[in-house]
Structure 1
Amino acid sequence: MANPGQSSFRRILLSRLLLLSVPVLLTGVYVTYRKARSTLLETARHNLTESAEAKAENINQSIAALKVNLLTASESVVLQSQSTEAYQEFINRLAKQLPTKIDCIELSDIQTKKIVASTCGYQLPLSQSASSSWLAQEKSKLDLEPSQVYVTPVLPEKSPAAATDKVHQTKSNSQLTLLFSAPIYNNVGQLKYALSIQSNLLQHKKLESGSLVGYPVVISQDGTILAHPLQERIGRNIAQEADVARLESAVKNAIAGRQNFQHLFSFDKNGVEFIAGYTAIDSPVTSEDNQKWTILAVTSLDSALSGLKDIQQVLFILTCCLMIVSFLVTLYVARDIALPVEKLRDYAINESDLQSKDRIPQNFKIRELNELSKALDEMIERIKKGAEEVETAWKEAQEANKLKNEFLASTSHELRTPLNGIIGCIRLVKDGFCDDREEEIDFLQRADDAALHLLGIINDILDIAKMESGKLTVEIEPCDLRKVLDEVINLQEVPIQNKGIEFNIKDLHEVIPIYADPAKLKQVLINVVGNATKFTDSGSITINTRIEPIRDKNQENSSNLPIGIEHSSSCVIVTVRDTGIGIDPAQQSKLFRPFVMVDGTTTRKYGGTGLGLAISRNLMEMMNGTITLFSEGNGKGSIVEITLPIIDFRSESSDKIVSSQNSLDSIPSSVSNADNNGKRAKD
């Protein structure tokens, strides 16, 4: 059961992936939006700057065209005549020929200030503007220039008809109204008339949404607004505007020759942001020398970013789709990653029995999880093996504990028996219960035999203790196996004869050179022959030897063998065969373990501590030999084989082996012992 505050691996993985992917996605969308907005703004600024330059160029071209046409008309012969009808016809024809939008054309008499001819259709005192604009300037000059055009801006508040009921009202879509005037001389060269043309150079057109052309605004160098979509702002100074600082900066930059853009917030509609590109042209007004006009192309920010709405819509739809796809992909990825973990969890929860045969789920798509599954499977196998080993060790420990208890019981009995004999014999001699000296010697001999038997038991216990602690050592040297066997046979001959057992010994005539510890080898042989004697009540005991080639010369412990043996090609096998009580085959593997006795009743009957064979096997392994036991079953006797490698003197060896050969050759070649053994066998 999950603890409070915990969550499933899949839910945590899903939430973490979404927590990372959604902000990244939204950040990417926001960056894309800002980049698109910046691109649109940059495009609008660039286009507006180009539009301002185009408008400035159109204004210059229109002014130049009007000046040329006006000069041509002022030099016409018709205007130098005295016919009023000719004047009117000429002006009507001129109004049709001029390419720029013309409000009206007027020919006025400078002296009388009367209109001689006009296309305005009403009384338009353009002559007043003409005389005030250029005639006043020429009064100080003695020589008038006939080929001169004077330009004057016409502002609403300065309109000549502003004080009368017939006010000249320009159309709401007309901007940048200029008055062009040229002097006309008669045939005798006297200044007679003034030819004036009022023209609207700019027309305010409603801009389509998204247009980056912008509407024109013209500002003079002194800050007067000459053209603006709102008529009420024409003639005002930019100092009266809320965006005065931005406007002054634009005018200053334009006059300095820098073509750029400016953001405006209150130049058209209060609170609405506009973008303006600007440039400058030379002022065409005659009275303004070295002055410049600033031409602005203005459009609203919404119009400049009109394409952003479509981008926003696309980004919104794209973001929704990407979030849905991201959720589905995250759900799928979380499932693929979490499913193997959940399978491993389910296996761990449900398979609590180590004896279960079910395998851990594998073959995942994720390599690391497959490796984890294999590692867990191997770990469980090791745990199972460990559990089996622990169980086996526990059973062995129980068995060992039982065997040690039996060993202590039997050993205490084995120790107590000779001690009681020794004590009894000594006390009989000490207390003078013996009849003569010969009887005392007999009791003392019995005590001595019991003491030797007790010493043997104690030596076995000490040897097994040394063996378990790794302190048991052997002194290996060249020796003759025949000699060691003769000594063992001589020692065991009497007990065998006392039990009436047939003792068969193969005649040993040849020297069998081996490397061994003579004393330890003798101890092993005495133990084996003694066991055969002890557990055989009738029948025979047979000892023979045979030499066999070594099958596997590359033994694992060949590097630990003495020089001469490591190149040995044969081994000697000593076989001790008896017809005694035999051993159950299931119990044979236990005999070479310390403290192990096959049957407690047998031990109590025959005596012994159960340490002899364990010590013998350890000693044989230390002398690079082996000892094995085989029995067909209870009552069928047993066979013990002792194997030792033979010294091969034919191989290349050191002087030590040569000296060993000499020492072995010095062994008497008589076979008296073998003959005696043969006689004993016959007896």
Structure 2
Amino acid sequence: MLKSIRGRLLLQIGLLLLTIVVLLEVIFAAAVSTYYFDSARQIVQSRAVTAATLSNQFMEGYTLPERARYILENLVPSESSRVEVLDLQGRTVVDSYGFSSSKRIRTADVRIAQQGGVGSYSGYSNAFKQRIMAVSSPLVSYGEVIGTLRFSVSTEPLYDEVAKLVVWAIGIGAAVLLLGFGLSLIIARQIVGPIKELTVISRKMATGDFTARAVRQNDDEVGTLADSLNHMNEELSKSEKMKNDFISTVSHELRTPLTSIKGWGETLVVGGLDDDETTLKGLSVITNETDRLIGLVEDLLDFSKYQAGEIKMRSVPVDLNLLLQQLDLQYSWAGNKRGVTLSTYLPDEPLPMHADLNRLKQVFVNVLDNAIKFSDLNGEIRMTASCEDLQVHVSVQDDGEGIPAEDLERIGRRFYKGSSKMSGSGLGLAISKEIVRLHGGRIKIESEYGIGTTVTVTLPLAVEEFMSGSEVATHLASSDK
């Protein structure tokens, strides 16, 4: 039970209550005992001092036995104390019972009285076999102490009364402990109950059930945890749906070229390769579809590597302007496949930076491919580069179908492809975002559905020396092979 939050909570509350109750019991017992015994001592002391003072004032010159007889004869009838008159050796001259004794009394109160002070004593009396309280006051004649007047009472009734009060206090303390333990059970149930609910829901989430929802019972930390768990549940549900959609899309993208390859392969086998035109057409289709498969597999491999953090950028000084010029030349021809023209607006000055040239080319190829793919037939795309605050902004704008508002904020997330029916894995932009992030930049997507989309890549510039134009061209040519 101590391994659970409820058990530890009950134990800690129980120990806290026990400590407080025991401490209060000790304080109460000490206070009651002090009060009772101090009150009794003051009463006895008042009587002893009063009797001794009267004797000292009105019986000066009398012998000690005469004084003793007078004091004892004038005691009030209700006097419950034992009154003794002692000589200077501590022997009892006479007591309130009419007895005398040669046994010396040497307690602290008697010694103080013999020195002229008023002394008190609490302890056990061997003569009476009980605990007593005694107060002694000096008897003085002409300035000299001639004896001691001693008042003593039994303290057993006081101890009995204090014991009764302590027993009552212990009973009340036990009741408080039981009540506190009961309340702690209720409190523990209120705290642990919602946590158990959250545990059950988290286990359901772990098994793939994202329909469960936590109920916010209180406006506290546990309630906040319930909200966080619900939010995480919703995000995981969305991520799971995107993953399933992604797998479905990738499966479709794999199935389409494989079906074409298989179909043309069977056609060529059946045809026996006799018809040169059909053979060339079939081989062309097989080659193109194989290229599609290779591109898709490379996207998947790149994405998994980026997710695992296994890709490192090999940054060198480069001129981004030269890369963009080469892409302009390349896509001026590639865009004609859909009749799309590329208009490029680049600055005259170099755009120096430290970057992995192959990876940057991968980013801009992906952005341009998407712009061409989603543009209208015979449309136009515009690529513009500008510098500001040691940053270069490269924008690619198309006049295609645009992106719906509900898809725009999720474009580029892992597993998310969007609602477009165009072919593709949907991984290209996610990979591009990761590449740009590793270069210290960012990608911004702006779109209006039915009008077009603008993708802006922002990268930091460098002021150091950079690669020459021929080196860039050589590097790009080697990367294309």
The TM-score bracket by the shorter chain reads 0.5 to 0.7
Cα distance in 1 for residues equivalent to 2:71 and 2:33: 33
The offset of 1:621, in angstroms, is 0.2
Residues 492 and 530 in structure 1, CA contact (< 8 A), matched pair in contact too: no
In structure 1, C-alpha distance between the alignment counterparts of 2:318 and 2:19, rounded to whole Å: 78
2:412 corresponds to 1:592: yes
Shift, 1:642, TM fit: 0.5
Q: Write the distance in 1 (CA, Å) between the matches of 2:447 and 2:248.
A: 27
User: Is contact 2:331-2:342 (8 Å) kept?
Assistant: no
Deviations 1:25-44 (A, max 9, x none): 3443576589889999x99x
Taking the aligned partners of 2:188 and 2:63, their CA distance within structure 1 comes to 86
Instruction: Label 1:207 to 1:409 Cα distance change in 2 as closer, same or farther (>3 A).
Output: same
1:668 CA displacement: 9.5
Determine the structure 2 residue equivalent to 1:614: 430
Structure-1 residue corresponding to 2:70 = 207
Q: Alignment partner of 1:572: what SS?
A: strand
* Alignment of 1:24 onto 2:30: yes
- Give the structure 2 partner of residue 392 of structure 1: 231
SS at match of 2:289: helix
**1:455 counterpart residue number:** 294
Query: Cα distance 1:493–1:444, how it changes in 2: closer, same or farther (>3 A)?
Result: farther
Work out whether residues 264 and 276 of structure 1, in 8 Å CA contact, stay in contact via their aligned partners in 2: no
SS at structure 2 position matched to 1:606: coil
Identity %: 23
1:420 CA drift (Å): 2.3
Is the CA contact (8 Å cut-off) linking 2:441 and 2:459 kept in structure 1? yes
Structure 1 residues 438 and 58: alpha-carbon distance in aligned structure 2, compared to 1, 3 A threshold: closer
Output the CA distance in 2 between the equivalents of 1:474 and 1:483: 20
Distance 1:383-1:477 versus aligned 2 partners, 3 A rule:
farther
Q: Residues 206, 384 of structure 1: CA spacing in aligned structure 2 closer, same or farther, 3 A cutoff? A: closer
Distance of 2:265 and 2:98 partners within structure 1: 141
CA distance in 2, matches of 1:510, 1:8: 78
Pairwise CA distance, 1:591: 0.5
How much has 1:585 moved relative to structure 2? 2.4
Tell me what 1:636 maps to.
451
CA-to-partner distance for each residue in 1:136-185, whole Å, 9 max, x for gaps? xxxxxxxxxxxxxxxxxxxxxxxxxxxxxxxxxxxxxxxxxxxxxxxxxx
CA contact (8 A) 2:86 2:149 kept: no
- Listed as ranges, the gaps of 5+ residues in structure 1 are 1-6, 60-201, 215-258, 278-300, 355-378, 550-569, 649-656, 670-683
Q: Secondary structure at the match of 2:413?
A: coil
1:243-277 deviations in Å (ceiling 9; x for gaps): xxxxxxxxxxxxxxxx62235899x966x767779
Which secondary structure does the structure 2 equivalent of 1:631 belong to? strand
Alignment of 1:397-412 (within 5 A): 397-412=236-251
Residue by residue over 1:410-459, the C-alpha shift from the partner in whole angstroms, topping out at 9 and shown as x without a partner, is: 11111111122233344444555444556534432332221111111011
Q: Distance in 1 between matches of 2:369 and 2:66?
A: 140
Whole-angstrom CA distance in 2 between matches of 1:526 and 1:668: 16
Shift of 1:18: 5.6
**1:544 counterpart residue number:** 384
One-letter amino acid matched to 2:453 = S
Post-superposition shift, 1:494?
4.0
Alignment of 1:174-253 (within 5 A): 206-209=69-72, 212=85
Structure 1 pair 475/506, CA: closer, same or farther in 2 (3 Å)? same
Distance in 1, Cα, partners of 2:135 & 2:101? 8
Amino acid at match of 1:607: S
8 Å contact kept, 2:84–2:92: no
Q: Report deviation, 1:615.
A: 0.8
Which residue is equivalent to 2:336?
Answer: 497
* Partner residue in 2 for 1:627: 443
CA distance in 1 between partners of 2:242 and 2:40 (Å): 89
Letter in 2 for 1:208: I
Amino acid at match of 1:525: F
Contact 2:86 2:92 in 1 (8 A): no
Aligned 1:341-420 pairs, distance under 5 A: 381-420=220-259
| Aligned-residue CA RMSD (Å) | 5.2
Note closer, same or farther for the CA distance 1:26–1:305 as it changes in structure 2 (3 Å cut): farther
Residue of 357, 362, 366 corresponding to 1:523: 362
- In 1, the alpha carbon distance for the partners of 2:322 and 2:15 equals 80
* SS of residue in 2 equivalent to 1:580: coil
More helix per residue: 1 or 2? 2
The SS at the match of 2:400 is: coil
Alignment-mate amino acid for residue 26 of structure 2: L
Q: Which has the larger radius of gyration?
A: 1
Structure 2: runs of 5+ lacking an equivalent: 1-12, 73-82, 106-133, 137-147, 196-217, 474-481
Please, which of 473, 486, 489 is the counterpart of residue 325 of structure 2? 486
Alpha-carbon shift at residue 348 of structure 1 (Å): 9.1
Question: Pairwise mapping of residues 99-178 of structure 1 onto structure 2 (< 5 A)?
Answer: none
Q: 1:261 aligns with which of 87, 90, 94?
A: 90
Q: Tell me, yes or no, if the aligned pair for 2:371 and 2:381 is still in contact at 8 Å.
A: yes
Structure 1 contact 541–579 (Cα < 8 Å) conserved: yes
Would you say the 8 A contact 2:246–2:425 is kept in 1? yes
SS of the residue 1:590 aligns to: coil
- The residue that corresponds to 1:583 in the other structure is 403
Pairing 1:572–2:431 present: no
Does the CA-based 8 Å contact 1:479-1:516 persist in structure 2? yes
Residue 265 of structure 1 contacts residue 274 of structure 1 at CA under 8 Å; is this kept in 2?
no
Q: Tell me the SS of whatever aligns to 1:642.
A: strand
The count of aligned residue pairs is 368
Q: In the aligned structure 2, how far is the partner of 1:523 from the partner of 1:14? A: 72
Query: CA separation in 1, counterparts of 2:17 and 2:308?
Result: 59
Partner Cα separation in structure 2 for residue 511 and residue 426 of structure 1: 50
In structure 2, the CA distance between the partners of 1:381 and 1:610, relative to structure 1 (3 Å rule), is farther
What is the TM-score normalised by the length of structure 2? 0.61
